[in-house]
Structure 1
Amino acid sequence: MEIGKKLKDARMKSGFTQEAVAEKINVSRQTISNWENEKSYPDIISVIELSSLYSISLDDLLKGDERMMEHLEESTNVVKSNQKLIGAIILNIITVILLITLSMFLPDKIYYLIMVFCLAIVSSAVLLYQIIRRI
């Protein structure tokens, strides 16, 4: 069974409305609706609070929903996230250094430097995206 259906069933069995649950765990009613309709997934803290509120074990709530388990693993794996970020930073630095070094050996440097500048902007934007996504 999917997490959304489990959350909705547990809420109904506990006699809560979406508004009441949202108020108790400090999120919006729309957030509860999105979780129950699987438009988004709760974070691990919210899952723990919902488990406690509905008096259902985390095991019962989470088992059987592979997408939710992947979401929680991805969002809580700090080491893997840090490794990806460090890799992106190193790749960005190496790319810019290589491109600038290669530009010294080309006769038409102005066009190449423009390309290097554009690639540096793109790689920096990708890096910034990774940093923002991590936060």
Structure 2
Amino acid sequence: MELGTILKDKRLEKAYTQEYVADKLFVSRQTISNWENSKTIPDIESLIDLANFYDLSLDNILLKGTDIVENIKKKEKIAEIRKGTVPFLISTILTMVLLFKILAAPKVDIVSFVICLAIMIANLFIILYFAKEENKIKGLPFKTKSFFIMVIIGALVGLIIGAIAGHIFK
């Protein structure tokens, strides 16, 4: 049984309104509605408050409402993935700056240019992999075309910023 169903059944069993429960738990009525309709899941503090308010065992809620445990696991995996993406984003930005610095030089060093370009492309593919994994965990389809459009727009913006920075810091 989903947590939302458990909460709604308990509220109706006690003949409480969503407004009443919201007032007692210091949340909005909309929050109660979202929890009951499984649009959102309460955080751990709210779960404890709900368990106390409805005289439920927290173990019982977590065992019956397995969507909570799954949601927590998903959030942890997504946090790990996002943590792993950060160094590659920073590396991509720094490589882009270096690339623009090379391009702004009076004489372009082709070897340095190709190495920076290769690093930047490798980083973008790693970021693509992380984005695909995050969407897989969320159960969403990954739109590769949209991702590449964002990369192209980012590269164009980066080129413009890099060109400006290259001329400013000559």
Partner of 2:26: 26
The 5 A counterparts of 1:43-58 are 43-58=43-58
Q: Judging changes above 3 Å, is the alpha-carbon distance between structure 1 residues 28 and 89 closer, same or farther for their aligned structure 2 residues?
A: same
Structure 1 counterpart of 2:88, one-letter code: L
Structure 1 counterpart of 2:7, one-letter code: L
What does the per-residue CA deviation read over 1:44-78, in whole Å, with 9 as the maximum and x for residues that have no partner? 11111000000010121121333321223455x4x
Q: Alignment partner of 1:63: what SS?
A: helix
Partner of 1:117: 158
Structure 2 counterpart of 1:94, one-letter code: S
Q: Which runs of 5+ in 1 are unaligned?
A: 121-135
The 5 A counterparts of 1:59-78 are 59-75=59-75, 77=76
The percent identity for this pair of structures is 38
Contact 1:44 1:72 in 2 (8 A): no
Q: Alignment partner of 1:56: what SS?
A: coil
Q: Hey, what's the Cα distance between the residues in 2 that align with 1:116 and 1:102? A: 14
Contact 1:19 1:29 in 2 (8 A): yes
Q: Hey, what's the Cα distance between the residues in 2 that align with 1:73 and 1:14? A: 32
Structure 1 counterpart of 2:87, one-letter code: I
Larger Rg: 2
Q: Per-residue deviation at 1:43? A: 1.2
The 5 A counterparts of 1:2-21 are 2-21=2-21
Q: Judging changes above 3 Å, is the alpha-carbon distance between structure 1 residues 14 and 72 closer, same or farther for their aligned structure 2 residues?
A: farther
Give yes or no for the alignment of 1:87 onto 2:84: yes
Contact 2:96 2:158 in 1 (8 A): no
Q: Per-residue deviation at 1:24? A: 0.8
Q: Per-residue deviation at 1:32? A: 0.6
Q: How many corresponding residue pairs?
A: 112
Contact 2:8 2:36 in 1 (8 A): yes
2:95 to 94, 98, 102: 98
Q: Judging changes above 3 Å, is the alpha-carbon distance between structure 1 residues 86 and 46 closer, same or farther for their aligned structure 2 residues?
A: same
Q: Per-residue deviation at 1:101? A: 3.6
